[in-house]
Structure formats: C-alpha cells, structure tokens
Amino acid sequence: MSRPHPDRGQSEAEVLRLRKALDHVGAHVFIKDLDGRYTYVNRMVSELFGAAAEDILGRTDERFFDLSLSKDLRDHDRRVIEEAVRIEGEERNVVARSGETRYFQAVKQPLFDDDGTVVGVLGVSTDITARKRVEIALRERESLLSDILDTASVAIFLVDRDGVITHANRRMAEMFGHPLAQIIGSEYVAHIHPAERDTGRERMRALLASKIAAVDLERLYLRADGSEFWGHLTGRRFQDGQGAERGLVGVIADISAARRAIERHASVINLAMDGFLAVGADGRVRECNAALCTLTGYLREEILGSSLSRFEAQESADEAAAHTRRIFATGNDRFETHWRRKDGSVVEVEVTATCLRRDEEIGVFVRDIAQRKAHQDELRYIASHDLLTGLPNRALLFDRMRQAVAQADRAGTLLAVCYLDLDGFKPVNDRFGHQEGDGVLIEVARRLKGCVRGDDTVARIGGDEFVLLLQGLGDTGAVEAALRRVLVAVAQPLRVGGSEVAVSASLGAALYPRDDADTDTLLRHADQAMYLAKQGGRNRFHVFDTEHDRCVRERTERQARIAQALRDQELVLHYQPQVDMRSGRVLGAEALVRWLHPQRGLLAPAEFLPLIEDSDLIVELGDWVIATALAQLEAWRREGLELQVSVNIAARHLLRTDFVSRLCAHLDTCPQLPRHALKLEVVETAALEDLAHVSALIRECRELGVAFAVDDFGTGYSSLSYLKALPAQVLKIDQSFVRDMLVDAEDRAIVEGVIGLARVFGRTVIAEGVETVEHGTMLLALGCEQAQGYGIARPMPGAELQAWVGHWRPDRAWEG
C-alpha cells in the first residue's frame, strides 16, 4: 500500500501556526543560514532591531550590530556549524535601537536537513537585563560598602557567637598592627589588655546573652608590638535578614591622644582665669581649680566633697540637685545665676556645664560676669537712647509705642503720637556752629520732658526731629491743650553764643484709637500731619484726619481695581453714530468706553473715569482706546464699511511730551488704514491748559492725517483769539446746551453763537445731545446739520453698527 503524501495546504497552515506561536514566545528566536544571513526571525527580534521581518531576512549581523560584536557572533555561529555542537550560556550586551543597553543570554544549536547535513543555526536569546542589573547593583553595593568601611577612621568588626572576629575593616588592622588576615579569625578578647581582658569577656558574654542592650565605654587595648592604647568601644547585637542573632558589631575609636590631651588640659584648667569644678553624679565636687577658690573665698579642702548648692544664692538645695540631674541628662547647659561667697557677698556668675563622662562626671566652668553685665547694660542704654540728649531713640520709641497702645486699649483713653520738627533750627546751626546747635537740641529736649507726665515719652529720632507719646488723654480738647503747651515751651527764647535766638516747632499728631493703625502707620500719619502744620505757617500743630486718609486709600484701591479691569480685558468700546441729519448719511461714530463689570454689569464712564483722570492710568486707558478703535476700523473696512471714529483724549494724555510718537506707533500697526479715519477729541478746558503746546500738537497730528475736534465747546473760556489759535477742524457743541435749548433761550443763544463762530472760522460743527426730533429740527434751522444723541442712536457694540447703518433713515421732518 502506498504511503500517503502530506497535504501541502495543511503543512503551510502548521507552519503559520508555529510562526504565530513563536511570535508570542518570551524570547528572541531566529534562524541563520551557513553564510550568517537571517532566514527567520520572530516578532521579538523585529522589535529589538526596530525593523520589520522582511527588512531583516537575508541580512547579516553586520547590518544591526557593531563590527566587534558582529565578529564574535559570527565566530560562535561558525563553531556551531563546523563542530555541529550546541552552545549554551552565550552572554552579550546589546545597544537597542532606543539607545538602551540590554543584556541577553543565547542558546545556539545546529539546524540539520533530512540528510543530517548542517544547513544553518537555530538560536533562542533571552533578555536577562533585569537579572544582570541586579547582579551589577549588588557588586557595586558590596564594593561601596567595602570602600566605606575601609575609609572609616574607626575600627569596625563583627564577632560571632563564639567571640571570634569574622569581619574587620582596614582601619582595625592598622590600629592593632596585625595583618587583616590575622585579625579575621582571631578571638576579640585576645586584643584587650590583660588587665581588662576578663572584664571584657564578661561584657561580651552579657551582650550576647541579651543581659545588656549595648556597650559604650573606654577600654585599654594591646597592639601587635606589645604597646597599649586607649579605645572608645561601642557594641551591640546584630541579626541577619531572617532575624536570627548572628553575633556582635563593634566600633573602636583610638582615644589615646584625647586622653593625653585631657591630662594636659587638667594642668591648663588649674591655671585658668575661670573657676572650674568636676562634679560627680551624686552632685558632690570632686575637683576644683585655684580660680574657683579665689572666686568663692573658700579653700580647696572646704570645696571638695561639698554640694553645688552651697554656692547658690537663689536656688534651694533641692533645686540645685535637680539642676545637676538635668545637666547629666542633657549633657550640657549654660546659664547665669548668683553665687554667695564665703564672706556672704553675692556675685553674678555665668555657669557652663558639660558632661565629661556620661552618667559619671560633669565639668562646671564659672565666670564672674559683673563687669560684663555692667558693660552690657551700658551697651543696651547706648542702643536704646540718643547719646546727645539722653532721650529714647527710635528703637526704644517703638517699644514704648507698643506699650502705650496696649495701655490705651485697656484704659479706653486717647494716645497722641506727636511728631515735632523744629522751625528755623538750620540757620541757628549754620550761624553758631554744630556745638551750639547741639546745645539748642539739649535745651529743647529738657523743655519737652518738662511738658510731659511720668507715663509719657519724649524721644529724639534724628536731627531736630522729636516724637512725643502723650497717654491717658480724655478728649481732643485735652490733646490740643497739651500740644499748645509743647509749642509754647519750645518757642521760649534761648541764649546761643551770647545772643538770644528763638526757634519754634511744627507739630503733627495722630490719635489712637480714633486712628486705629499699627505703630509704624501712626508715626507716619503724625509725620504727615506735621508736614501740613509746617505748610500752614509753622509754630502750629495739625491733627491727622483719618477720614480724609480713608478717602485717599479708598480712591487708591478703586484706581487699582480699574487698572486690573484694563489688564483683565473687562473694558469694552461702544460706538455712537454721528450723522448728517439733512442727507441721512452716517459720517462716523464716537468711541465710548464702558466697563463690563463681573458683578455690577455694564458701567458708564462716569462710574470710573473721574477716579483716574489725574493719574497715569488715564494715559494707559487712552492708548488702549486708540488701539482698540483702530482695530475696529480695520474690521469694518474688511466688511465694506468705511467710517471715521472719534476718540476722546484726556488732558493728562494729550499734554505728554511723547504723545505724538505713541500715536504714530499705534497708526503704524494699521498701515492700510487711512489716517483721516481717526479723529481725536479734546475737551475745551484741556486745550486751554497750555494753548500753545496743544495748538502745535494738533498741527503735528494734522500733518499725519489725523483729524481733531474740540469737545464740550462753550463750557470753557471760549474767545475769538482762542478759537483762531486752535487749529481743530471740528467744534462739538456741548450736550448741556443742546438738551435745554428748546426751553432755555440762553442755551439756544449759545448754540446759535457757536454755530456762527464755526461758520466764520471755517470749522465744522457737530451737536451732541440730540434726544428728540425737535432738537434736530431746531439745529437744522440754526444751520447745524451734523449731530449725535439718543434721538439718533444709543452707543452700541462695534459688531452691531454695520446693521444699524444699513437700516437707519433720518426723520421726515429733517428732510429739506
């Protein structure tokens, strides 16, 4: 019976399933032919190489690795092929396409055909990066730990439960003079001096048996050459990672030099200027030096064995003992106290205590500080007083002010903070010299002290400036009476350089708690009031007005809020059309600023512009209005609407020396826009502030192509000469005249006069405030055809104006 042939389709399906399975194996699987070309790679190889399988097949390792690694891989492949052997554990580090270095372990074996001939290499490579990194980290950690131990300045060692040293660092070998190999494996107690060896063995056993938690002591050790040295030993038990007791860890510091230094210091201490005592844990004196005997008046024999409490003049014996215990507990202390000498006299001393041996002895240094305290008192006085007059200075003044404020709060009385500056002192100083001038200040200080009561304060804060704190005042009448007394006292004639001279004072006062401010602010308010007194004619006083100051602060805060609104884009422009009532043509629009307030809604200019008219913020706002209006003009032109926009310019903005340059900068941002599309309006009163300057500025702007109008015409000081000098093309009749001209003959006459002046001087005239058809009819009858007002249109957002222009028609009564 013939053998069935396998189904080809079935074989290919098996191959596909095998390939798919290999793509999901957690390893890199590949096959190479005898020339090292890849004939199969699974998905993980493609990801490693960063290339599709079809871009890998047919290529050799040189395409994907550097020459050195490619050569090594090729040599291993050749060995597999030529010797027909399996190679395991081949490790390589590879730089992946991402730039990261990864580590792989590969198994390679020969691939045979049906005849047993080697036709290629089958390889399986596993990513062992994580394991290698752990191994590297462990090696680095062990090396670092060894380096740390070997660079330590103390001996570090481990002892097992039998007392044998199992580990030691290089410093221990150096310290004991034995090779490190000889130290390790030796008994720890063998290195202790024979005189202390038994004690050391007992301590070690107690520690291993958990009878004591740790050791911290000084011990005598033996070197290899037989010499001895003192070491400070600390030791404790240690456990392995599973918590099993493994032995002891010990640290030894060579303290021989320190011990010798202590012995030397003992002789130095005995010769020291400060007193010294060594006190045991029982609070008894074990040792003292000669300086302490001199300080206390006791003999050395009388001091030794006594308690520290015998010297204390302020503490009882129990308190002194408790203090000694605290020093032992904390290790050190420094304090000032009073000691009583043998003769009963008391001396102020500074005591510095430090622990010499833990739980055993403290050292106490005692210094007589009577002279130092006197010097400190002198320095404190200098730091807090004016050296010329002896009065408190600024530093002490503020301390007194805080106390005076607290006292006023408790008593419910007035505190007057008075700032005094001498009038006419500089001429006296210049005429008679600084020495005589100092004499004047001393005399003024004396007079001021004579004007105040015991609880009051007089301070000199510099030059000829003084501050008085007047406490316990019942009302403003008492304050004013006190201030008058001060002015009278200062104004009395003085003898200076053989001549009689007179100085006076300007005095300002702030009253707490009516002026409920902090001390710094109170003094500043008094200074401000003094300045007003000096401006008012000198030799007088002025009391700070808190209500006026509150209004100033409130105005400042509101100005800051408007500035914030400008930064936060809360301000918008609305546009009120300007029309020819006769022809019905829309000539332009006036840009009017509005505040879209987050809480209060849309606010008119009268709500906020008056607050900033006298500040530079009006300039910043004016620049914003010009820039915004120009941008709106460009937007209208793109929509086919060509108008002229009028922008109001404040006097402060107009009179700036850089106004024209700033205007040019705005115009340069819109190079396609005709310059005559912008018209600037200035109120008549602003133009009159500096007529020559404003006239020159208008001419300069007209040369740029920008038009000018005089707003609110008729409200200022209009005259023929003024109108002739001012080269503005347009006059705007103020709405206050237009609104009432139907019922007020004088207003009608003013309107008619302005129209006549405009006609004579060749100016265009436009009327504001046209609220009814009748207003427009009368204006037309008087010869004014251009107008704006609620009777024509209210101000509207720029986006709505084009639609309004398309639908607006003049009233039939206006058609002539």
Q: Is the pLDDT of residue 53 over 90?
A: no
Distances (CA, A) of 651 to 280, 594, 617, 685, 691: 88, 19, 12, 8, 12
| DSSP assignment letter at 605 | G
Q: In one letter, which amino acid is 436?
A: E
What value does the mean pLDDT take over residues 234-243?
Answer: 82
Q: Cβ distance 289 to 275 under 8 Å?
A: yes
With bands split at pLDDT 50, 70 and 90, how would you rate the model's confidence at 512? very high
Whether 396 and 502 map to the same domain: the answer is yes
Q: In one letter, which amino acid is 170?
A: R
Across the strands, what pairs with 589? 577, 645
Residue 348, in any domain of the structure: yes
Q: How far apart are CA 485 and CA 305, in angstroms?
A: 69
Among residues 465, 463, 456, 450, the alpha carbon closest in space to that of 415 is found at 456
Q: How far does Cα 609 stand from its chain's mean position?
A: 35
Q: How far apart are CA 104 and CA 48, in angstroms?
A: 11
Confidence (pLDDT) at 256: 85
Residue 816, in any domain of the structure: no
Q: Cβ distance 279 to 288 under 8 Å?
A: no
User: How do residues 275-329 score in pLDDT, each as one tens digit?
Assistant: 888 888 888 898 888 889 999 999 999 999 988 778 888 777 777 777 777 777 7
Confidence (pLDDT) at 375: 82
Report the range of poorest mean pLDDT among 17-26, 413-422, 519-528, 746-755. 17-26
Residue 59, in any domain of the structure: yes
Give the E-state strand segments of 209-358 in sequence order: 214-222, 228-239, 245-254, 275-280, 285-288, 332-340, 346-357
Among residues 77, 76, 78, 74, the alpha carbon closest in space to that of 66 is found at 74
Whether 482 and 425 map to the same domain: the answer is yes
Whether 237 and 297 map to the same domain: the answer is no
Across the strands, what pairs with 499? 496
Q: Cβ distance 750 to 774 under 8 Å?
A: no
Higher pLDDT, 212 or 486: 486
Whether 525 and 453 map to the same domain: the answer is yes
Q: How far apart are CA 680 and CA 710, in angstroms?
A: 9
> Apex CA 135: angle with CA 129 and CA 139, to 5°?
140
Confidence (pLDDT) at 264: 67
Q: In one letter, which amino acid is 382?
A: I
CATH code, domain carrying 225: 3.30.450.20
Q: Is the pLDDT of residue 587 over 50?
A: yes
Confidence (pLDDT) at 261: 67
Whether 195 and 90 map to the same domain: the answer is no
Q: What φ, ψ does residue 262 adopt, rounded to 5°?
A: -60, -40
Report the range of poorest mean pLDDT among 95-109, 161-175, 586-600. 95-109
Confidence (pLDDT) at 228: 92
Higher pLDDT, 228 or 326: 228
Residue 611, in any domain of the structure: no
> Apex CA 445: angle with CA 442 and CA 450, to 5°?
130
From 90, 106, 133, the end of a domain falls on: 133
Report the range of poorest mean pLDDT among 215-219, 417-421, 784-788. 215-219
Residue 672, in any domain of the structure: yes
Whether 129 and 43 map to the same domain: the answer is yes
What pTM, to 2 d.p., does this model score?
0.44
Whether 215 and 74 map to the same domain: the answer is no
Q: How far apart are CA 364 and CA 354, in angstroms?
A: 7
Tally the C-alpha atoms within 13 A of residue 214's C-alpha that lie toward its C-beta. Answer: 10
Among residues 282, 279, 272, 290, the alpha carbon closest in space to that of 353 is found at 279
Among residues 196, 186, 189, 247, the alpha carbon closest in space to that of 218 is found at 196
Could you give the percent of the chain with pLDDT greater than 70? 93
| DSSP assignment letter at 312 | B
Q: Is the pLDDT of residue 188 over 60?
A: yes
Q: How far apart are CA 618 and CA 571, in angstroms?
A: 13
Residue 568, in any domain of the structure: no
Q: How far does Cα 802 stand from its chain's mean position?
A: 51
Whether 436 and 500 map to the same domain: the answer is yes
Confidence (pLDDT) at 642: 93
Residue 434: in which H helix or E strand, if any?
Answer: helix 434-451
Q: Cβ distance 716 to 750 under 8 Å?
A: no
CATH code, domain carrying 727: 3.20.20.450
Whether 407 and 508 map to the same domain: the answer is yes
Token look-up 């200098």 returns: 382
Cα-Cα end-to-end distance for the chain = 125
b/e sequence 295-333, b meaning 16+ C-beta within 10 Å: bbebeeeebeeebbbbbbeebeeeebbebbeebbeeeeb
Strand 361-368, strand 346-357: pairing: antiparallel
Q: How far apart are CA 422 and CA 437, in angstroms?
A: 12
From 373, 401, 428, the end of a domain falls on: 373
Q: Is the pLDDT of residue 6 over 50?
A: no
CATH code, domain carrying 475: 3.30.70.270
Among residues 591, 657, 576, 588, the alpha carbon closest in space to that of 622 is found at 591
Q: Is the pLDDT of residue 8 over 60?
A: no
Domain span at residue 509 reads: 385-544
The number of folded domains in the chain is 5
Residue 814, in any domain of the structure: no
Whether 101 and 169 map to the same domain: the answer is no
Report the range of poorest mean pLDDT among 136-145, 397-406, 591-600, 652-661. 136-145
Q: Which residues, in sequence order, are CB contacts of 752 under 8 Å at separation 6+?
A: 782
Residue 535, in any domain of the structure: yes
From 254, 281, 301, the end of a domain falls on: 254
User: How do residues 707-759 score in pLDDT, each as one tens digit?
Assistant: 999 887 766 555 566 677 778 889 999 898 999 999 999 999 999 988 998 89
Dihedral angle at the C-alpha atoms of 737, 741, 743, 749, nearest 10 degrees? 100
Tally the C-alpha atoms within 13 A of residue 613's C-alpha that lie toward its C-beta. Answer: 13
Whether 236 and 315 map to the same domain: the answer is no
Q: How far apart are CA 618 and CA 610, in angstroms?
A: 10
- Count of H helices and E strands in the chain? 30, 32
Whether 240 and 273 map to the same domain: the answer is no
Confidence (pLDDT) at 11: 61
Q: How far apart are CA 613 and CA 11, in angstroms?
A: 95
